[in-house]
Structure 1
Amino acid sequence: MDEMMFRGWAVDQKTITFVWDIRDLAHPVMTGHHKAPVRAIDHNLYVHNGQVYMSNYKSGLRIVDVSSVAEDPTGSSFVETAFFDVHPEDDAIGGEAVFGGSWSAYPYFESGYILVNTLERGLFVLKQTNV
């Protein structure tokens, strides 16, 4: 909830994803972070085939290529490759760091389809075309 409370790297309310090295579970190390281009609160994140599928509440599904993490664990080379905005009404103000919108996503179908469920608008079935 750092985005809602204007804390740390999220003082501008843009979603922050922290990168952790957990090879030693007794001594995890935060190695960096990735900042989304819009304001929102992150919720559920799933890693699949070098990409992170992020449900970022009002900004919807954001897909970030994290395949460079082994070479660059700072997160600075992560790239957003796609997104699906489930609440475009707030785009004129740059998004909102409030609850609502996308709750979760499921990117694990062999077909490549991605399910995104939302609190207000139901289920979306998507397929990323720029893979």
Structure 2
Amino acid sequence: MEFLTHSEAETEALGARLAAALNPGAVVAYRGGLGMGKTAFTRGLARGLGYKGRVTSPTFTIVNEYEGGRLPLFHFDMYRLEGADALFDIGWEDYLDRGGVCAVEWSELTEEALPPETVFVTIARTPEGENARVITIEGVDLP
């Protein structure tokens, strides 16, 4: 499914909509360059899961954990990792077994570690405005 958002708030709202379709153990893998809105989408995902706190990029921590909603959210940034082996070194399988949602930025760098039922979210700029994005969601039907 392809969606067009015109603002950060609309991107967050789409993330919240996706959250309603996710079950325990879901993996959401983002594709898209710097500044595309992956963290904004994740803020919406967290809100849709019922998390009320602040959501930030895990660029320097590799993973941020958000608990207190319908499901825990584990937000990964793979940018600084050197492939799937490094992902397994930080406990990837343990996160998958915890029954939450794993949201993975820069998933292209560790794609071989993603389960077959992964939901892919591709975010790209569009000429319709500075904050406009084309967001493609594959692997799940939205409510």
TM over 0.5: no
- Bigger radius of gyration: 1
Whose strand fraction is larger, Structure 1's or Structure 2's?
1
Q: How high is the TM-score relative to the length of structure 1?
A: 0.27
Whose helix fraction is larger, Structure 1's or Structure 2's?
2
